[in-house]
Amino acid sequence: MADLTDWLFQKTVGRHIPLSVHIDLTMRCNERCIHCYRVIERRPELTTEELKALLEDVARAGTLYLTFSGGEVFLRKDLFELIEHARRLRFDVRLKSNALLITPEKAARLRALAVRQVDISIYSADPAVHDWVTKVPGSLERSLEGAALLRDAGVTVKLNCPLMKQNVGQYKEIRALAERLGVLWGFDPMITAKNDGDTSPFKLRITRKELRQVLQDPALNPHHGKSAPAESGPGYVRPDLDDIPCGASHNACYISAYGDVMPCVAMPIACGNVRDEPFAEIWHRSPEMLRVRSIRIRDLHTCSTCAASPFCTRCPGQALVETGDLHGPSPANCEHALVAAQVAGSSVIPASMLRS
């Protein structure tokens, strides 16, 4: 399966096919999470008919994986109509939700529509902490009830938790909670900026010490126990200079609730709006999309010769938001890479770079 996935990734990148598209259906939400990237604008959200036409456009462009997110997707009264339309177009559909509005009937309908997975945001196994993050009393209990209803209906569920200063010490309890429920789990130690580039959520990011503690857990760190290549060190040059930094603009993109097309949800570069021109025109000809698509690892100053690159998951969008430079390093990703190298016991990273 891994070989097939890699083949599909390479083929779609080479042919510039938008294999994966993330669409925010609404920016409205029934929670007010302290870290959220959503920004509500004074523009009308895409209508049912506009979204159906958009789905037909991205289907013609070759999209297979479709993510509906928000905001809270279940606040759209036409959600099931949109899912039905997407399934008729043979999309693999995934939802992101807080599950507050899940009922047995809705769970059963999602199963009947063969929705592949529902990701539910959980911030702590402690109601006081979770509800403080969401600003909605009782939200943890309701979200877990929704998760159980989905699980019992036969829908795959994943509990996702962004790690912040407020909850980083509780990730093991969240993992145990997921295991008791019999559902998947995932953690992300990277808090991102808002859709408009506002970096205020950055103050919630965990410290280097906390990050080190997290990455020492093999279950959370894919680099745990992995040493850097023997040839890395002073004068190191990455062997993948002709590769792309990530799939954004190559085989993946993001479309906002207002119709703006961007290379990625983490990369606030508006390349066009589907209300003004067809999706395919934006995808294939937008100067902004083509500019992002032209970037190769060799174009990334600092990153192309960094000895910590084997441990790095650099995000171009993060680099742009943090520094204003799409071609430069992301300080947050740099810190993560250096800590991962330290946890792995790498001897090729200068000690001065690894100090807290």
pLDDT digits (tens, 9 = 90+) for 325-335: 999 888 888 88
Query: In the predicted model, is pLDDT for residue 121 greater than 50?
Result: yes
Q: What is the mean pLDDT of residues 266-273?
A: 94
pTM of the model as a whole: 0.91
Question: What are all long-range contacts of 284-289, with beta carbons under 8 Å and residues at least 24 apart?
Answer: 284/16, 286/261, 289/249, 289/253, 289/261, 289/263
DSSP state of 241: T
- Which helix (H) or strand (E) covers residue 316, if one does? helix 316-323
Query: In the predicted model, is pLDDT for residue 74 greater than 80?
Result: yes
Q: What are 320's two structure tokens?
A: 């742009």
Residue predicted with more confidence, 331 or 178: 178
Query: In the predicted model, is pLDDT for residue 77 greater than 50?
Result: yes
Q: What is the pLDDT of residue 317?
A: 87
Q: How far is CA 71 from the centre of its chain?
A: 14
Q: What is the mean pLDDT of residues 141-166?
A: 97
Q: How many helices (H) and strands (E) does the chain have?
A: 13, 9
Q: What are 220's two structure tokens?
A: 């959370």
21 beta partners: 66, 253
Lowest mean pLDDT among 54-68, 155-169, 187-201, 212-226: 212-226
Each residue of 12-61: pLDDT tens digit? 999 999 999 999 999 999 999 999 988 888 999 999 999 999 999 999 99
Hey, which of 194-203, 234-243, 246-255 has the most confident mean pLDDT?
246-255
Q: What are phi and psi of 185, to 5 degrees?
A: -145, 160
Do the Cβ atoms of 67 and 255 come closer than 8 Å? Answer: no
Q: What is the pLDDT of residue 352?
A: 47
Q: What is the pLDDT of residue 45?
A: 97
DSSP state of 348: S
Q: What is the mean pLDDT of residues 146-159?
A: 98
> How high is the mean pLDDT of the chain?
90
Q: What is the pLDDT of residue 90?
A: 97
- Cβ neighbors of 26 (< 8 A, separation 6 or more) are 45, 70, 71, 72, 73, 75, 76, 257
Query: In the predicted model, is pLDDT for residue 194 greater than 90?
Result: no
Q: What are 100's two structure tokens?
A: 């507050």
Q: What are 291's two structure tokens?
A: 């500019």
Each residue of 82-119: pLDDT tens digit? 999 999 999 999 999 999 999 999 999 999 999 999 99
Do the Cβ atoms of 229 and 282 come closer than 8 Å? Answer: no
3-class secondary structure, 141: helix
Q: What is the mean pLDDT of residues 207-234?
A: 72
Query: In the predicted model, is pLDDT for residue 175 greater than 80?
Result: yes
297 beta partners: none
